[in-house]
Amino acid sequence: MSITGRMLRAVIAPHGWECEVSDAMPLLEAASLSGIKLPSSCRNGTCRACMCRLDSGQVSYRIEWPGLTREEKAEGWILPCVAHPEADVVIDVPLAAKLG
Ligand code: FES
């Protein structure tokens, strides 16, 4: 499979794992292609199982209203199953795991 889009870097804190991510796909999917598993369930922005904090960088959503309140968004919470990176990002996901 070829990856399209602008390539950016994601760091998974507190582990310090780095991976290349494309702005064409959500962070959760991009991390998994790099062998990093983030907690998830619905993968469509409603269950909040993947909710984590964006320590730095910028993300955007292609869906109308991901399951976050305005306050949560303002506090830096994101849903990586539907959040596309817009810049290099650092996300805080203590429960992330290496695949394989
Ligand atoms: S996995 Fe359900 S909101 Fe992200």
Mean pLDDT of the chain: 95
The closest alpha carbon to 49, from 21, 70, 28, 34, belongs to: 28
Question: Rounded to the nearest whole angstrom, what is the distance from the C-alpha of residue 77 to the centroid of ligand 1?
Answer: 12
The tally of domains found in the chain comes to 1
Share of the chain above pLDDT 90, in %: 90
pLDDT of residue 48: 96
The closest alpha carbon to 54, from 77, 87, 28, belongs to: 77
Q: What is the pLDDT of residues 78-95, one digit of tens each?
A: 999 999 999 999 999 999
Domain holding 65, by residue range, is 7-98
Q: Is residue 64 part of a domain?
A: yes
Q: Is residue 44 part of a domain?
A: yes
CA atoms in the 13 A half-sphere facing the CB of 24: 6
Q: Is residue 60 part of a domain?
A: yes
Please state, in angstroms and rounded to a whole number, the distance separating the CA atoms of residues 56 and 54: 6
Q: How confident is the model at residue 4 (pLDDT cuts 50, 70, 90)?
A: confident
Q: Is residue 84 part of a domain?
A: yes
Ligand 1, atom nearest to 66 Cα: 3
pTM score: 0.93
Q: Is residue 76 part of a domain?
A: yes
Q: What is the pLDDT of residues 27-53, one digit of tens each?
A: 999 999 999 999 999 999 999 999 999
* 15 Cβ closer than 6 Å to some ligand 1 atom: no
* 79 Cβ closer than 6 Å to some ligand 1 atom: yes
Ligand 1, atom nearest to 47 Cα: 2
Q: Is residue 46 part of a domain?
A: yes
Q: Is residue 2 part of a domain?
A: no
* 41 Cβ closer than 6 Å to some ligand 1 atom: yes
Q: Is residue 1 part of a domain?
A: no
What's the CATH code of the domain at 61?
Answer: 3.10.20.30
Q: What is the pLDDT of residues 8-30, one digit of tens each?
A: 999 999 999 999 999 999 999 99
Please state, in angstroms and rounded to a whole number, the distance separating the CA atoms of residues 31 and 38: 7
